[in-house]
């Protein structure tokens, strides 16, 4: 167990010197390639984006935007807390985690993990071998998401038959089977999958659970502030649907996929579908603008991130 802890540079080996590794050429090319692909994707999507109409439709409530900011930053901040404990990650690591989020959402699922791995290898003083830690964090994030999704499915099951019959029956059964199946596979092979020691795994899992609970509550707050007349039951169903969509692997722009499903189930004329689409559009707009702000300096300066 001690060798596993030393391999990932956990906070328990603070008396040992950090492993000095020179960044390899492939790592530099990997970060450049992902950055270039992300920049091209941002530019192409910005050209087809109706910013004026989208901004005009957004709520003007301060409370809404406060909840929106907390919702958006919850994932990179929670991951920073995790890697802060594992690697003593400084505050500048939040920028790399934001890049990871943007890459996953607008480029390709798990491309952000590839970028973050290369970034961590280039900053070898922060961590000895980052692959095991990044892998464990991603796996535990999926496991925590599956657990919260199953709980939300159990809560919303009696409501779905009355308010959204299109989601009932085989659809929920198939979704539940998929989520449970993935979870059982992770648990069955946990001894081979995980690299970190049990105390670190417990900490990571608890952070993911807390983050998912917070984001689910924040999403409900945003929907309530944008459409206060909508019954709470619909908010529960929307939260469940959003969690189901978030479980889909290798799917970029999950917020737009969620909005499309909401429109399909509820209808274009519904206030709910309009607000859900509007929030999804605001999230994608944030991805694009933030992605451009994070990537452009990398092409201006000669030094590597």
Q: What is the pLDDT of residues 183-215, one digit of tens each?
A: 888 888 888 889 999 999 999 999 999 999 999
The answer to which of 126-140, 141-155, 238-252, 273-287 has the lowest mean pLDDT is 238-252
Instruction: Supply the pLDDT for residue 1.
Output: 45
Confidence of residue 249 (pLDDT cuts 50, 70, 90): low
Structure confidence at residue 294 (pLDDT): 83
**Averaged pLDDT, 290-304:** 69
Query: How much is the pLDDT for 2?
Result: 43
* pTM: predicted TM-score of the whole model, two decimal places: 0.77
Dihedral over Cα of 227, 228, 233, 236: its sign: positive
| Reported confidence tier of residue 143, pLDDT bands at 50, 70, 90 | very high
Of 15-19, 208-212, 243-247, give the range with the top mean pLDDT.
Answer: 208-212
Mean pLDDT confidence for 221-241: 82
pLDDT-derived band of residue 71, with 50, 70 and 90 as boundaries?
very high
pLDDT over 70 percentage in the chain:
67
| Band of pLDDT at residue 234, cut at 50, 70 and 90 | confident
Give the Cα separation of 287 and 294 in Å (integer).
Answer: 10
CA distances from 84 to 11, 139, 230 (A): 9, 18, 40
Most confident of the following: 14-18, 41-45, 84-88, 115-119: 84-88
Q: What is the mean pLDDT of the chain?
A: 76
State the pLDDT at residue 139. Answer: 93
- Domain boundaries along the sequence of the chain: 2-11+22-300
Q: Check residue 299 and give its pLDDT.
A: 60
- Range with top average pLDDT, 86-100, 118-132, 174-188: 86-100
């Amino acid at each position: 167990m001690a060798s596993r802890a030393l391999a990932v540079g956990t906070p328990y080996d603070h008396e040992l010197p950090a492993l000095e590794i020179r960044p390899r050429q492939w790592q530099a090319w990997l970060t450049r390639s992902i950055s270039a692909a992300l920049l091209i994707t941002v530019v192409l999507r910005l050209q087809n984006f109706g910013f004026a109409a989208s901004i005009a439709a957004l709520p003007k409530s301060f409370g809404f935007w406060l909840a929106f900011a907390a919702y958006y930053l919850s994932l990179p901040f929670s991951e920073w807390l995790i890697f802060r404990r594992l690697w003593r990650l400084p505050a500048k690591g939040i920028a790399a985690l934001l890049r990871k989020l943007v890459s996953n959402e607008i480029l390709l699922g798990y491309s952000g993990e590839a970028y973050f791995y290369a970034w961590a290898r280039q900053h070898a003083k922060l961590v000895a071998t980052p692959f095991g830690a990044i892998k464990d964090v991603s796996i535990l994030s999926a496991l925590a998401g599956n657990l919260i999704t199953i709980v939300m499915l159990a809560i919303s099951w009696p409501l779905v038959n009355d308010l959204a019959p299109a989601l009932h029956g085989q659809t929920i059964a198939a979704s539940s089977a998929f989520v449970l199946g993935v979870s059982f596979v992770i648990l069955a092979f946990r001894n081979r999958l995980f690299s970190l020691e049990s105390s670190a795994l417990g900490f990571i899992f608890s952070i993911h659970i807390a983050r998912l609970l917070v984001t689910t509550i924040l999403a409900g707050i945003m929907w309530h502030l944008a459409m206060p007349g909508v019954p709470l039951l619909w908010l529960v169903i929307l939260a469940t649907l959003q969690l189901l969509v978030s479980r889909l692997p290798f799917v970029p722009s999950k917020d737009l996929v969620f909005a499309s499903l909401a429109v399909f189930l509820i209808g274009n004329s519904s206030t709910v579908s309009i607000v859900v689409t509007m929030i999804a559009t605001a999230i994608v707009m944030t991805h694009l603008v933030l992605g451009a702000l994070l990537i452009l300096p990398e092409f201006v300066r000669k030094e590597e991130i």
